[in-house]
Every structure is written in structure tokens, then in C-alpha cells.
Amino acid sequence: MAVDTTASAASLRFLLLGDIGVGKSSFVNTFASCLENVHTNSPIHEAIPTPSSPSSNPSTAIHLPGVRLSTNPVFHQDGTASPFDDPLGLLPPKVIVPARDIDFITLPGYSATINPSTTLSLTDDYLNHHLHTTTSIFSPAIPSSQLAWFLIAGSHAHSLPTCAFYFVLFELKPIDIIYMKMIHERVNLIPIIAKADTLSKNELWVLKKRMLRQLKLNQIKIHTFGMDIETVEQMTIDRHWGAPPFVVSTREDANGQLPESEMKRLVELCLYERVRDLQEDSARKVIAWR
């Protein structure tokens, strides 16, 4: 089904990057199952023009598959409000999370073609397309502070990706380093350790620690939801869940739980607690890029 993927009333756009078969589609399903307020879950596709073609010619556009989760607003459920404030119960309930469209757009896995650089250049074009489209609305002379304000306060009016979930299976490969290095200054990069149920708890902590070291060594900046990188490193040393790279499993155990998975925490951070951090980090990237 073709759904308009231009920015809607309140929207978040998550990119799914990495290799083929790492669990991207399963991730979206599990992400959706962590939410109680989804009212539709529909396939979508996003078309962006190939860099050499005008956007008016759809035959030369690149089509990317995706999923849109449309959610209902979440209301304040705290029953502590004084009955004297609203004795007849006439005040509308307070919305704490607005209704949203949450789009997941999948870029092809880099092993999908004989030459992985085809995938990398597609992602490169995708990011540049959104940065160009967003910045072209403004005069080049607009002060950075005003641009940042628009990008954050008016985040529904543009279609910049909120962040990119980058899936890694077992180990960061040289191609992952190249891929991440290519994108980290243009999109909020959130590394995901996929299929966590296939590793022991100890192996997961070793991998988390090693991955952070490799990212640092290669000067790859990840989005940390407002934490400084030293805090993230310390959390990993202390074996405290809740910081990137996020360990994710989409396989439930016999009790219907996600074993050794930071999925629920990731959903809380991305949708409720730290949306503003994602938007601010995005705005910083646009300003640095233009």
C-alpha cells in the first residue's frame, strides 16, 4: 500500500540499517508490541528521487519499504488530581503523549547486492535528500538558533529521520565501521546488538564493551539520549542496562518475556522520555551540515 510519507501531524521517522536478515522486520513488530496505543500498523513505502533526476519523474525514484504505526494519544492516568479542581469531571483529560505516526523506513542490507557500496551510496543519497529538502525551506542567512528552534518546535513540518537504528550481529565488521562513519554526522546513530537471545549474558556484556571501544577508536559518534559517553561506558562496565549499544531480542521465552533485551527501555527512551534529546541532536547535525 502506498501511504503518503511526508511529515504528518506529529511524526517520528526511524531508519533501519545494517545487513540483510539481522532482524529489522522482527524488530518493528516487537517495537509495536511494546506499545498499547497503536491503532494501525500498515506497510508504507517512501520514494526519494535519484540524485541525478528531478523529483517530478517518479520512474527514476528510489522506493524504500517501511511500516507506519499510528498511535492514539496517551492521557494522564494519575488519579491524584484534587476533585475540587474539577468536581463535575468536565475538564478534558491531559494528553501526555500526542497521537503520532511512527514510520520505520528500511534501507537495503549491504549484502543484498554484490557490491555493498551500492547500498552505502543509497543511504548517502537518502540522508542528503532529507537534509537538502529541509534546509532548502530556509534562507541560507537564517541564524543557527532560529533554524534549531524550527527543527525542534516544528518537527512535524519536516521529514528528517529522527534516528537510525544500526543492527549488528555478533561483531562489528569492517563494513559496519565504514557504514557508520559515513552516516554518523548526519543522522542520530543508535547501534543495536541484534538476536541477543543467541548469546549468553556474559557474551553480551563483553560485546557491548568491545563495541563501545571500537566506536571510540574509530571516532564514531553515537546518540546517547543525553548521557555523556563516559556515563555510557561506566554503565557497561558496571553491567547496568539502558544505554547504547542496545541489546535486542525479538524472540520471547516460554513466559512471554524478551530475554536479555533492552527493547522496552529503548522504546521508552525513543517515544516518551528522550524525544527532545533526539530532536536536539538532529538539529545540531543539520546546522553542522548546512
Ligand X SMILES: Nc1nc2c(ncn2[C@@H]2O[C@H](COP(=O)(O)OP(=O)(O)OP(=O)(O)O)[C@@H](O)[C@H]2O)c(=O)[nH]1
Long-range pairs of 182-185 with CB within 8 A, sequence gap ≥ 24: 182/120, 182/123, 182/124, 183/17, 183/123, 183/124, 183/127, 184/220, 184/221, 184/222, 185/221, 185/285, 185/288, 185/289
CB atoms within 10 A of CB 89: 7
- Choose among Mg ion, ligand X, none what residue 133 binds, the Cβ cut-off being 5 to 8 Å by kind: none
- Choose among ligand X, Mg ion, none what residue 186 binds, the Cβ cut-off being 5 to 8 Å by kind: none
Backbone angles phi, psi at 150, to 5 degrees: -60, -45
Q: In sequence order, what are the beta bridge partners of 246?
A: 192
Positions 206 through 245 that interact with ligand X (CB under 6 A)? none
- Choose among Mg ion, ligand X, none what residue 23 binds, the Cβ cut-off being 5 to 8 Å by kind: ligand X
Q: Cα separation of 57 and 40, whole Å?
A: 30
As measured in angstroms, the least distance from the Cβ of 73 to ligand X is 29
- Choose among Mg ion, ligand X, none what residue 251 binds, the Cβ cut-off being 5 to 8 Å by kind: ligand X
- Choose among ligand X, Mg ion, none what residue 123 binds, the Cβ cut-off being 5 to 8 Å by kind: none
The residue whose Cβ lies closest to ligand X is 23
Coil, strand or helix at 214: helix
As measured in angstroms, the least distance from the Cβ of 232 to ligand X is 23
Positions 22 through 81 that interact with Mg ion (CB under 5 A)? 24-25
Place of cell 521529514: 159
Q: Per rule CB under 6 A, is residue 169 in the interface with ligand X?
A: no
* Cβ distance to Mg ion smaller for residue 22 or 120: 22
* Cβ distance to ligand X smaller for residue 25 or 214: 25
Q: Cα separation of 188 and 204, whole Å?
A: 23
* Cβ distance to Mg ion smaller for residue 24 or 285: 24
- Applying CB under 6 A, among 70, 155, 236, 249 the residue interacting with ligand X is 249
Q: Per rule CB under 5 A, is residue 214 in the interface with Mg ion?
A: no
CB atoms within 10 A of CB 28: 21
Peptide bond between residue 245 and the one before it cis (omega within 30 degrees of 0): yes
Binding residues for Mg ion, per CB under 5 A?
24-25
Which residues in this chain contact ligand X in the complex, by CB under 6 A? 20-26, 109, 195, 197-198, 249-251
